[in-house]
Every structure is written in C-alpha cells, then in structure tokens.
C-alpha cells in the first residue's frame, strides 16, 4: 500500500516531519510542480486505481480489527476478528496478554508470549 504524503512534508515539522498525525494529503498545485505533472521518479498522487478490493478493505490480515480496553471486551472476540490493545496500563495489559494467550486470540499490536516474558513477576499488586 502506498503512503500518500504531501510534496514538502519532509521539509517542515508542521507538515509532519517526525509527527505522523500531521502527515496529511494535500493535492499538489503549482505551475512547475513535478508531482502534479506525475513525472517519473516523483511521489505517487491519490487516484482511483490505488483503492483496495472490497473483501480486504478495513481489515488486518483478512480479519476485522477490534479495539480492546479490558478483559470483558477480549472475551467477546470471535474467530474472524483480531484484537488491538488500546491505551491501557501495564497491569491491565499483563492480564489481557495472559487471557489472550490462554484463549489463543491473535493480538495485532503485541506479542503476548514476548510481553509476558519481559514482564514476568510484575503483575503483583502493591500492598500498603
């Protein structure tokens, strides 16, 4: 999949240099713009031919992505869905990783085995 970026995105930080959220598409304009003229070697321009097919659109690895924030949401996942762990703390993330490994659920943005190995023994609750 082609990443469409505006022509001068690498020049200024306000256009997304080092900040992905600001890397947005703007149609190239200008009299001598090589990108607008679609010259050889210049970046790609948004056009009809780049759209993905309907079956695989809005999917990750041919599965529907579902955002997970707690254990209850993880238990509701079906076979044709893939989990994406949201912005949760480390304690809850460890619990989700254990449950995902136990239920054999695929997690897109984390490897449960590797994560649990790195954070072994850190799930205990602090007692005051």
pLDDT in tens, 40-55: 999 999 999 999 899 8
Q: In angstroms, what CA-CA distances link 40 with 32, 37, 44, 48?
A: 14, 9, 10, 19
Give me the mean pLDDT over the 116-120 stretch. Answer: 92
Cβ atoms within 10 Å, residue 27: 11
Q: Give the bridge partners for 107, in sequence order.
A: 83
pLDDT at 125: 62
pLDDT at 120 over 90: no
pLDDT at 127: 66
pTM here is 0.69
Give percent of the chain above pLDDT 90: 73
């Amino acid at each position: 999949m082609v990443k469409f970026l505006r022509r001068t995105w690498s020049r200024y930080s306000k256009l997304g240099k080092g900040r992905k959220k600001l890397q947005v598409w703007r149609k190239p304009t200008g009299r001598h713009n090589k990108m607008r003229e679609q010259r050889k070697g210049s970046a790609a321009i948004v056009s009809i031919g780049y759209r993905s097919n309907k079956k695989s659109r809005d999917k990750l690895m041919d599965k529907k992505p579902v955002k997970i924030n707690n254990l209850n949401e993880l238990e509701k996942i079906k076979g044709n869905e893939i989990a994406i762990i949201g912005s949760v703390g480390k304690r809850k993330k460890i619990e989700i990783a254990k449950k995902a490994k136990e239920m054999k659920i695929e997690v897109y943005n984390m490897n449960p085995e590797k994560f649990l190995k790195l954070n072994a023994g850190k799930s205990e609750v602090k007692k005051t």
